[in-house]
């Protein structure tokens, strides 16, 4: 555990903090599609992502869910931290975008380390700041971008996170993340292909222009 933390967070945390995390945390493997946090859960542990990517969804009380942002290596979920501090139920669902590993830290250490370690305070505040920017970007996207622009931004983000120009997602899965219908997504994907921005293959979308 200590070696994994040192390799991935040694540039962020003090050695003493890494030692403490290694003593109390657990390492968890996950695979694509695993639900790591669900709506209504009381969150007992804070995730530090070692590898892979996790998408964070917000429940829409009228219908379905809305993609807020992705968590990548070296990051945590600010909304998870907020639930931990407020001892409230989770208002997000965290689903593994691909396989990876995550370090889970018991929540009772979070406040203690806020007062004890400057690096932990900076990490927490930066996480809040970065997630806020991403959520504002998501709001702007909903308010000001056409669905074809939202779709292209989504595909580019998926490509970056997975490190591949080929995106293995069904039209229905994309529609679910973008809170629209499969018919709309299929039509827009075909339009993007006609514009030369993507190529459609069986169960794969290839980014041509980035």
pLDDT tens digits along 139-195 = 777 777 789 999 999 999 999 998 999 999 999 999 988 888 899 999 999 999 999
The percent of the chain in helix, strand and coil, each rounded to the nearest 5, is 50, 25, 30
Cα distances from 120 to residues 78, 92, 104, in angstroms, run: 13, 23, 15
User: Which of 93, 117, 143 corresponds to the end of one domain?
Assistant: 143
Domain of residue 201 covers 146-207
Q: Determine if residue 128 is left, alpha or beta; phi over 0 gives left, psi from -120 to 50 gives alpha, anything else beta.
A: alpha
Cα distances from 117 to residues 6, 112, 114, in angstroms, run: 16, 9, 6
On whether both 106 and 13 belong to a single domain, the answer is yes
On whether both 45 and 126 belong to a single domain, the answer is yes
User: Which of 143, 168, 184 corresponds to the end of one domain?
Assistant: 143
pTM for the predicted model, two decimal places: 0.79
* Helix/strand/coil for 53: coil
Domain with residue 156: its CATH number is 1.10.10.10
Number of structural domains in the chain: 2
pLDDT of the residue at 14: 93
68-103: pLDDT as tens digits = 889 999 999 887 887 776 677 888 899 999 999 999
Average pLDDT, the chain: 89
Other C-beta atoms closer than 10 Å to the C-beta of 188 total 22
Between 61 and 207, the higher pLDDT residue: 207
148-160: pLDDT as tens digits = 999 999 999 999 9
Beta bridge partners of residue 66, listed in sequence order? 58
Domain with residue 48: its CATH number is 2.60.120.10
On whether both 15 and 76 belong to a single domain, the answer is yes
On whether both 26 and 129 belong to a single domain, the answer is yes
């Amino acid at each position: 555990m200590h070696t994994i933390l040192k390799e991935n967070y040694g540039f962020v945390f003090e050695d003493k903090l890494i030692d403490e995390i290694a003593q109390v945390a657990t390492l968890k493997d996950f695979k694509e599609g695993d639900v790591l946090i669900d709506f209504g859960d009381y969150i007992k542990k804070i995730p530090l992502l070692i590898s892979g990517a996790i998408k964070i969804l917000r429940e829409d009380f009228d219908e379905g869910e809305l993609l807020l942002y992705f968590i990548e290596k070296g990051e945590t979920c600010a909304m998870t931290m907020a639930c931990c501090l407020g001892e409230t139920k989770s208002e997000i669902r965290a689903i593994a975008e691909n396989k990876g590993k995550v370090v889970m830290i018991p929540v009772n250490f979070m406040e203690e380390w806020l007062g004890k370690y400057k690096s932990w305070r900076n990490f927490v505040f930066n996480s809040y700041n970065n997630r806020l920017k991403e959520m504002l970007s998501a709001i702007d996207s909903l308010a000001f971008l056409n669905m074809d622009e939202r779709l292209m931004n989504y595909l580019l983000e998926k490509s970056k996170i997975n490190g591949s120009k080929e995106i293995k997602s069904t039209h229905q899965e994309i529609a679910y993340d973008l809170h629209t219908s499969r018919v709309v997504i299929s039509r827009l994907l075909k339009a993007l292909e006609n514009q030369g921005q993507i190529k459609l293959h069986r169960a794969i979308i290839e980014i041509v222009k980035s």
